[in-house]
Structure 1
């Protein structure tokens, strides 16, 4: 009896606690929800503060809670929200100019390229673009180089030295610790698993990394050269000799225009805005202005829509989330766009290094179904490699940035193995089986030749399917695809030359191509996916709300919970039973 009393008292206390937490969250949500409805105002003579000190995603995401709508969130700080805001600011009389101030920007090269294009277009309005930094990282300077005038702190630093990539190798580490990775791969350039197989970088890998780093650096130099009127050859000399490492060297190298303190920079912006030094300068953060602009740029004069579906992040088998691509959310989005008569075309925006082969194939299938009904155009961001290219390859058109990393048509599998580590710790695993291959793989046993053969066969099957998909989608022979596959990565420029991509450009080019294919001129953009959330499941993950079964297991222990469950089950049985005589688990 004491056992059941303890169970009852524990459950009662927990239920009361969670009820209080639940209603507290609802009240908090209502307060936060009502606060989010405040109107953002832009006053005359305002400077748009383009400080991008937060991670830049192509799509900030739209999240909906069906049961708790006050928690719904549709952020407007994604890359293309920012670009829309810059475009809107060019025609907003209240905005006098843009300040790029102490950024430490957290974005990819292709994303920065899109932002530079938007800033160059903004400058055509005649409004100013100024930049200031205490410290210029290379990405910061690449973005800031578009400014009319670049200012730097007297005690500042500049990083302008070229690009590099560093890889860690774990072969000796595995042997010393006993923690090993069993690797099966196909593609001599498929280097993601190389660190587990060697202590040094292979020549194939060194070659491909060198090619794409130099391609990226060439593109960065070219654009800086055009903005700063410094030759590409001179920029290489500056980088090689670190001739911009401090403000005075940067000024001599013509990478900046003036050395001033931040208060002096503010005075410059006041003068450019038509204010005196004693006047207050008004700023608006880019996040706030993007929210403000989003309510003013909508075009309701046309019913035509182009769906932009964002596939951003690693590809997993599952629903997916903001920053994670799952076939669940992506395929729902494709289906909705396909079945909506107002949507005339689809642009699939991909920024992904790949991931699950199964999920990639399922997304490929949904793209194939969609393109039978309406045009599908792919826009590639920083990266659309491996699985990211798989889901792109059968689109009607593929548009990539010159700095996009794509290709990587190859396959690998990695299985962790702790056999040696377990042996070192005095642990031994024994298996009992009914059939020869019942043990597909065990962490505690080395991969035998039969198992390796089966896994290698699976990897090869996926690789050949990948080759088939690219061959059919890009109208290349299998031999042509094989020649550029083997896991090798390419920049957007090289991908166009090899037939993996149709043209270079950003999302705007992809939208224009989609509109042309759909034979429409005016359209609105409808963004996907919408991520549907279950608050109870989220709270359970953080231990705030737990299922009754989880609570009982934690309080009683696994074995006691099983006893309670069996007693409860027996108490519900009535009449004669034809039942297995004892409980067992088969794994």
Structure 2
């Protein structure tokens, strides 16, 4: 019996030993592979593939179990930095945007578009080819020197619209209700549970927002394509870009051709024989090359860029979740570093937890006492996203940024009517009057509703006070433009919520000016931690739960599932924008 036990123990031990060696070899290979120098060959064309570019900041990750630090370079601003370097890189002859798919938001797209416009000033080319141009991809690609489309391709150019779904009748029919408490006539996050159609106030703000973003988009397209804005609006109204022939006729594109013709035209441009392939390098690889080989460490002064991107929630946070843990460490480290002379907070968030927003606001307040803080707004800096921005020394936004939404709400599920209909009843025993003021299976208690309303009002008043102090306005002035209303960046300047239109680079220049420095380098925050399970997923030896679910239900359905999950995780009063605007 002991012999069998020893044999079994030996087999298990050997198995574990070989498994550990196998994983160790894979990990060492990954590190070695990640440190390989990327060679940019002569006469190269950058392929601007944005499939893996989602966030402003790709994140820094600390694998503590392996004492390994990973810093990918596929964030939006890594790409923009690489494009800036490519202007003067003699090996790079131009950029090819080929059948580009992107999940970037509209303000991120504008930032990238500006970088491409700047790249063209070098005299190098930007060419674009696509089978299908969505409105957002056309907005980006319209910056190109020459646009191609497949002979049987499509171009979507029709203007923007927004659609809401309402649940009032559904609640009444099923008995499954959401008890809503809010402050702000424009705080339409909860409107679907109260009405069967959009309120006049919500229609006004949504219409004005869509028109503001559309005007910013067609103004840029007009400059690049040399088509009057009025003509572009007529094209959109009459769908006069819906076929390749109409798109060419109306100067939205330059050439109808198959992809092989596109590549041959690039060969002619850079003087490569038709029977040869021209050299290409993917933007992700080029970005890595630029980041690892062209970092100037001789400059002592630094400006810290702290990225706040995603939903605002409690806890540590991640690359797509703003948590007070990671933000606290990032801001504390930046303000205590004597070489960091100023901080730029890059905000891309529709908001979330009011409590977490307040905690981050406090960290910025502490930081601002020591060194200047400048905010750069991305796609969103709304509700809680504006809360954490409002006390900065200077606030920059893109014209297409969605901001404001200064308001709060609370929602409580109530199933008492539904359970009663199917014969389920609930009774309670309690020691004090308010020991069980809320239960989803009992009608909402009047005292509890009063206390909750009081809490909502307190948070709203605190929010107003924070904005008023940060923007040097009275509480009454803020309240007049608050009420949960959303504004574009362009509109926000007029009402005092934003100081200037500009991107991250403009914010950095302002931070340097406030810090009274001329030469500086940037350092990115925060830093995140990952586990052994994440390492296995990265090697392809184990799939993450996220990837498995995506494979089963698809990307779009996974996005909806995540929103439902986030809704179920919301705790406390919410300072959250009422919707997420996705432009395709």
Instruction: Compute the displacement of 1:539 (Å).
Output: 9.3
Deviation at 1:532, TM superposition (A): 2.3
Mapped pair 1:214 → 2:221: no
> How many residues are aligned here?
530
CA distance in 2 between counterparts of 1:297 and 1:193 reads: 49
- For residues 505 and 324 of structure 1, what CA distance do their matches in structure 2 show? 24
| SS at structure 1 position matched to 2:116 | helix
Measured at CA, do residues 297 and 424 of structure 1 come closer, stay the same or move farther in structure 2, by a change above 3 Å? farther
1:472 pairs, out of 469, 474, 482, with 469
Q: Distance in 1 between matches of 2:13 and 2:382?
A: 48
TM-score by length of 2: 0.87
CA distance in 2, matches of 1:501, 1:490: 10
- Asked if 1:54 is matched to 2:52, the reply is yes
2:72 to 75, 80, 95: 75
Which residue of structure 1 lines up, in the alignment, with residue 563 of structure 2? none
- Output one character per residue of 1:458-497: Cα deviation in whole Å (capped at 9) or x when no partner: 0000000000000100000111101100000111111111
CA distance in 1, matches of 2:440, 2:58: 39
Residues in 2 aligned to 1:19 and 1:174: alpha-carbon distance in whole angstroms? 58
CA–CA separation in structure 2 for the residues paired with 1:44 and 1:539: 37
Aligned-partner Cα distance in 1 for 2:282–2:327: 31
Asked whether the 8 Å contact 2:299–2:519 carries over to 1, the reply is yes
1:574 is aligned to none
- In structure 2, the residue matched to 1:560 is none
Whole-Å Cα distance in 2 between the matches of residues 439 and 23 of structure 1?
56
Equivalent residue for 2:569?
Answer: none
Is the 1:354–1:384 contact (alpha carbons within 8 Å) kept by the matching residues of 2?
yes
Are 2:248 and 1:259 equivalent residues in the alignment? Answer: no
Structure 1, 436-445 or 335-344: larger mean CA deviation: 436-445
Q: For 1:92-107, what aligned pairs fall within 5 Å after superposition?
A: 92-107=89-104
The equivalent position to 1:526 in structure 2, one of 523, 527, 550, is 523
Matched residue SS, 2:203: helix
Report if the CA contact (8 A) 2:303-2:344 is conserved: yes
Change (3 A) 1:230 1:304: same
2:36 to 22, 38, 42: 38
Q: Distance in 1 between matches of 2:428 and 2:526?
A: 45
Separation (CA, whole Å) in 1 of partners of 2:18 and 2:348: 42
The TM-score normalised by the length of structure 1 is 0.87
Query: SS of the counterpart of 1:413?
Result: strand
Q: How does 1:363-378 map to 2 (within 5 A)?
A: 363-378=360-375
CA contact (8 A) 1:104 1:137 kept: no
Q: Larger C-alpha radius of gyration, 1 or 2? A: 1
For residues 485 and 170 of structure 1, the distance between their equivalents in structure 2, rounded to whole angstroms, comes to 26
Q: Is it true that 1:200 corresponds to 2:197 in the alignment?
A: yes
Where does the alignment leave 5 or more consecutive residues of structure 2 unmatched?
1-10, 543-584
Aligned positions of 1:113-152 closer than 5 A:
113-152=110-149
2:498 to 472, 497, 501: 501
The equivalent residue for 1:392 is: 389
Q: Match of 1:295?
A: 292
SS of equivalent residue, structure 1 residue 121: helix
Q: Shift of the alpha carbon at 1:182? A: 1.3
SS in 1 for 2:352: coil
Whether the 8 Å CA contact 2:57–2:307 is kept in 1: the answer is: yes
Partner of 2:245: 248
Q: CA deviation at 1:537?
A: 10
Could you tell me how far 1:68 is from its partner in structure 2? 1.8
**Alpha carbons 1:104, 1:136 under 8 Å: kept:** no
Q: Deviation per CA, 1:114-171, whole angstroms, max 9, x where unpaired?
A: 1111111111111011111110001111011111111111111000000111111111
Comparing 294-303 with 227-236, greater Cα deviation is found at 294-303
Corresponding residue number in structure 1 for 2:356: 359
Distance 1:34 1:419, change over 3 A: farther
Higher alpha-carbon deviation: 416-425 or 248-257: 416-425
Quote the Cα distance in structure 1 between the aligned partners of 2:18 and 2:354.
44
Partner of 1:304: 301
Q: Is the 8 A contact 2:53 2:76 kept in 1?
A: no
Q: Which of 472, 490, 507 is residue 487 of structure 2 equivalent to?
A: 490
Partner Cα separation in structure 2 for residue 526 and residue 381 of structure 1: 19
User: Given that residues 53 and 74 in structure 2 are in contact (C-alpha distance below 8 angstroms), is that contact kept between their aligned partners in structure 1?
Assistant: no
- Describe the shift of the 1:536–1:106 C-alpha distance in structure 2 as closer, same or farther (beyond 3 A): closer
Give the 3 Å change call, closer, same or farther, for CA 14–88 of structure 1 in structure 2: same
1:111 to 83, 86, 108: 108
**What displacement does 1:233 show?**
0.5
Instruction: Judge which range, 526-535 or 159-168, deviates more.
Output: 526-535
> Aligned partners of 1:14 and 1:351: how far apart in 2?
49
Q: Which runs of 5+ in 1 are unaligned?
A: 1-12, 546-587
Question: How far has the Cα of 1:177 moved from its partner?
Answer: 2.9
SS at match of 1:459: helix
Contact 2:150–2:256 (Cα < 8 Å) also in 1? yes
The 2-side partners of 1:361 and 1:270 are apart by 56
Larger deviation: 317-326 or 272-281? 272-281
Give deviations 1:412-431, integer Å, cap 9, x for gaps. 01112222333344332322
Partners of 1:389 and 1:150 in 2: how far apart? 38
Q: What does the per-residue CA deviation read over 1:318-372, in whole Å, with 9 as the maximum and x for residues that have no partner?
A: 1110110011101110000000000000000000000000000000000000000
Paired residue secondary structure (2:65): coil
Q: In the alignment, what sits opposite 1:510?
A: 507
